[in-house]
Amino acid sequence: MVRGLEYYTGAVFEAELLLKTVDERGQAVAFGSMGGGGRYDDLVARFTGERTPATGFSFGVSRLASALRAAGKAQGVAGRGPVVVIAFDQAAMADYFAAAAELRASGIAAEVYLGASGMKAQMKYADRRLSPAAVILGGDEIAAGTVTIKDLDQGRALASGLTDNKEWREGRPGQVTAPRGELVAIVRKIVEAAQ
């Protein structure tokens, strides 16, 4: 709030969280200010030369997240990531974006990996995001009109029981190759099983 006193021209306001909670030692915790703002007509004039009515507000995301955890309202498990469409070749980006758009149009969260990393790094990315599935449209799949889909949850579950890397590579657990037109149906089953 003090920083804003330099440019506020009218009302200044602050939001305080009145949540009553205790820390791990049983001590009362007061969160205090969660955000604030005010009227700052002259701030706009500094950049435009015109006095323009303006009001702004911001809140502290990390403080709000701490309050949610203290209140027991934060999710115990990180939220699920979207289905990740693996990108192999810049020339095939239209195919990747078409697959993602098809999934989104069906109500399935999806994204295309936009970095320049190889498949292994992209799969690790999908795993870190807790994505339920990865869509693979390599040159062979595009040419054949197919799509390979990895059920990442099933792959993780099956991997825990394997002791031989060769068995893992040959078995391709949690992976299916199907006609391109079956993409949405297969991914929907994986996503629904993950919920």
* CA R_g for the chain: 25
Q: Could you tell me which residues come within 8 angstroms of residue 157 by beta carbon, excluding any fewer than 6 positions away?
A: 174
Looking at the domain assignment, is residue 75 inside a domain? no
Report pLDDT for 166: 60
pLDDT above 90: residue 12: no
Percent of the chain with pLDDT over 70: 84
Q: Verify that 30 and 62 share a domain, yes or no.
A: yes
**This prediction's pTM:** 0.58
> What mean pLDDT comes out for the span 74-96?
84
Confidence of residue 160 (pLDDT cuts 50, 70, 90): low
The predicted-structure confidence for 125-156, as pLDDT tens digits, reads as follows 998 888 999 999 999 999 999 999 999 988 77
Looking at the domain assignment, is residue 78 inside a domain? no
The total of structural domains in the chain comes to 2
Cα–Cα distance measured from residue 37 to residue 35, given in angstroms and rounded to the nearest whole number? 7
Report pLDDT for 10: 83
Q: Point out which residues pair with 147 in neighbouring strands.
A: 178
Looking at the domain assignment, is residue 37 inside a domain? yes
Report pLDDT for 131: 93
Looking at the domain assignment, is residue 77 inside a domain? no
Q: Which domain holds residue 167?
A: 83-194
Looking at the domain assignment, is residue 105 inside a domain? yes
> What mean pLDDT comes out for the span 52-60?
86
